[in-house]
Structure 1
Amino acid sequence: MTKLLTRVVLPLLAGGALLAGCTSTQGGTASPAQSPSATESGSPETSSSSTGGSGTQSITDPCSLLEMSDLSSYGEFLEPRKQTLGGARSCSYQQKIASASDDQKVIGVNVRDAASVDQTNDTGGGVVDRDINGRKAKEASGGSAVAGCTLALPVGDSSRVDVSVLGAHSADEACQLAEAVAKTAVEPRLPKG
């Protein structure tokens, strides 16, 4: 029973740790992230990057970026859970397990309206650059402490969508799975510039 409890609770606690590690706080007074400056003179925002300048505001449902059918080749998963965690709109899928000895992965997407990929925090294994279908992303591995990984995909200049995997056998396995899910399911559904 203790082993089963550990297998269920540990991934959830690790998920909280990874989500907390992917946010940053700054002192000062809160203000809108995209308030127009005097030099913009009302012209529409443009960006020279391939990710465009529209940001994540057009993503109304985080579960629209990752559906249960996208995960069928990785096992059987429970219905998605939508919530707000660490300032991110989140949709996560918990893997069903047959026995306490099975790995129980949690795969999710986190829409961060006010955090760029440059704000991706090191969660133990470093932050490295990745290319996901031509989109310049950042990968934060949990290292040896946490078998998890977050892959941050830029959407505009100041927002991002994270693909997170927890509860894998190792952080390397979690990062491989996060990259595969990002390439085949999440990135193709993100707003383009």
Structure 2
Amino acid sequence: MHFGLLLEDIRSRKKKREIRCREIEVLTIMHPMNLLCKVAISALALLGLVGCSATEHGSAEPRVESSQQQKSSGSVEPAPGESLSLSVDPCELLSVEELKPHGEFIDAGRRELGGARSCVYQRSARGGHQGFVVALNVRDSQGIESVADAGGKVTESAVGERNAVQSANMSVGDCTVAMEIDDSSRIDVSVNGLPSVDVTCPIAEDVARLVEPRLPDVPS
């Protein structure tokens, strides 16, 4: 009798171990963080936004957190008199699925550098395609009138009924569409890493059209 119970206990533990092993395999497939880090560092290098986490075994890896991991930390409710842009989380405005017409993208994570709260998306270079970056940059203290000439030209435009300007860097091919949030803040849709503004500007314009309806109304 005692031997039968012991045997049953051994079988039960073995079954639990097998289930746990399968769970670990599934989690490994669903969260390929090593691959994400390797691809994201190339994306962030194009924007000068590379950072490293603590190292192990003598090697450093970029610390890249997805927008889903930090979703709740990207915006706050603005107080009276503060920029309306504080209510905007750039990582809630766009998904990698919506970028599929322009290639296969990964969410390379959230950044807060250079005076902007940013969300970065990297197009994969697999299959012989050229990799490039799409970034959404919320600037809480800079309106569209402060968009700098990036070496090409700055032109006034509109996205929907929202005031915007476009800045194109003819020498390196980068393009930015900056949309008004209020008088003192804006959101930049930037495309970097392709050789010609003839390619990057249409992508930036397309992404801006996706993002614009999700922004708060401009105060009248």
What is the TM-score normalised by the length of structure 2? 0.62
1:15 counterpart (39, 47, 50): 47
Once residues 126 and 145 of structure 2 are traced to their aligned partners in structure 1, the CA distance between those partners, rounded to angstroms, is: 39
Is the 8 Å Cα contact of residues 83 and 141 (structure 2) preserved in structure 1? no
- Match 2:185 to one of 159, 162, 170: 159
User: Quick one: higher RCO (CA 8 Å, sep 6+), 1 or 2?
Assistant: 1
SS in 1 for 2:156: strand
Pairwise CA RMSD of aligned residues? 2.5
Larger radius of gyration: 2
Are 2:157 and 1:135 aligned?
no
2:107 corresponding residue in structure 1: 79
Q: Percent identity?
A: 40
Taking structure 1 as the reference length, the TM-score comes to 0.70
Unpaired stretches in structure 1, ≥5 consecutive residues: 1-7, 18-33, 36-43, 46-52
Query: CA contact under 8 A between 1:56 and 1:113: conserved in structure 2?
Result: yes
**What SS is found at the alignment partner of 1:188?**
helix
Report what 1:49 is aligned to.
none
1:35-58 per-position Cα deviation (integer Å, ceiling 9, x unaligned): 9xxxxxxxx76xxxxxxx962011
CA positional deviation for 1:14: 4.5
Q: Could you say which residue in structure 2 is the equivalent of 1:171?
A: 197
Amino acid at match of 1:172: D
Secondary structure at 1:78 match in 2: strand
Q: Which runs of 5+ in 2 are unaligned?
A: 1-40, 50-77
Give the C-alpha shift of residue 169 in structure 1.
3.8
**SS of aligned partner of 1:164:** strand
Aligned ranges for residues 1-193 of structure 1 at < 5 Å? 12-16=44-48, 55-59=84-88, 61-98=89-126, 102-143=129-170, 145-183=171-209, 185-192=210-217, 193=219
2:198 & 2:149 partners in 1: Cα distance?
15
1:81 partner SS: strand
